Amino acid sequence: MSRRVLVLFAHPALQMSRINQRLMREPQAVPGVTFHDLYEAYPRFDVDVAREQQLLTDHDVIVFQHPMYWYSTPSILKEWQDLVLEHGWAYGSQGTALHGKRWLHVITTGGKEAAYCSEGYAGFTVRQLLAPLEQTAKLCGMTFLSPFLVHGAHSIDAAGIEQHAQDYHDVLQALVDDRVDEEAAASLPRMNCELSRVILQPKGA
């Protein structure tokens, strides 16, 4: 059974990000994936709540693709959460619209992976920094998958970018095909450290 995947893309300075310019091509290349650029849609942050809620209703997997900004998301994603995830719709005793859906972050960081640990300058893993968002997903009855992370975006070479793009493509295709091991994808510190555990082989392969 195929699943419908929505990618909510948020990058306020896309012209300066060679890696996000490359990664954003993958959601647009996978049938069954809807790509939605929030800064392009809402340059004045005038989020259309009804439109966004309908998009969430129409999809099974919600992917938030963005750079790490001050150890969190770009500001439009906070605005989006505040407006779209309404009480009585996304959470609360009557708010069941998102129950059973999956929530995934695809994040690029300027710092290298070694920075994101208790001994690194960030002091926390990215998964730990995403705790408020993980709890938001839980409150909305969604399954929070471990993030797909691309570290060292400022120094990564062209071959590294292409490998991450291919891995992202593979994850999106697996999400559409419902070939993601949910338990493995929820337990890892980052999804793309062991994609062989996360992505199940097609039946009969």
Q: Tell me what pLDDT residue 169 has.
A: 97
Longest dimension (CA), the chain: 49
Q: Which residues contact 34 (CB under 8 A, 6 or more apart)?
A: 4, 5, 6, 7, 27, 55, 59
Pairwise CA distance, residues 64 & 7, whole Å? 6
Domain count of the chain?
1
Q: Tell me what pLDDT residue 204 has.
A: 58
Where does the pLDDT of residue 143 fall: very low under 50, low under 70, confident under 90, or very high at 90 and above? very high
Q: Which of 101, 96, 29, 90 is nearest to 61 (CA)?
A: 101
C-alpha 123 chain-centroid distance: 22
Answer whether residue 204 is part of any domain: no
* Tens of pLDDT, residues 39-92: 999 999 999 999 999 999 999 999 999 999 999 999 999 999 999 999 999 999
* Tens of pLDDT, residues 25-37: 999 999 999 999 9
Q: Tell me what pLDDT residue 194 has.
A: 92
Tell me the pLDDT of the chain averaged across its residues.
Answer: 95
Answer whether residue 203 is part of any domain: no
What CATH number is attached to the domain comprising 143?
3.40.50.360
Look up the domain containing 156 and give its range. 5-198
Answer whether residue 139 is part of any domain: yes
Cβ neighbour number for residue 115 with a 10 Å cutoff: 16
Pairwise CA distance, residues 101 & 204, whole Å? 27
Pairwise CA distance, residues 99 & 192, whole Å? 25
Answer whether residue 194 is part of any domain: yes
Where does the pLDDT of residue 15 fall: very low under 50, low under 70, confident under 90, or very high at 90 and above? confident
The residue written with tokens 């893993």 in the block is 125
Answer whether residue 104 is part of any domain: yes
Pairing of the two strands 33-37 and 102-108: unpaired
* Tens of pLDDT, residues 148-161: 999 998 899 999 99
Radius of gyration of the chain (CA): 16
Answer whether residue 9 is part of any domain: yes
Alpha helix (H) ranges present in 85-130? 126-129
Where does the pLDDT of residue 16 fall: very low under 50, low under 70, confident under 90, or very high at 90 and above? confident
Kindly state the tokens that stand for 54. 């309908």
Answer whether residue 48 is part of any domain: yes
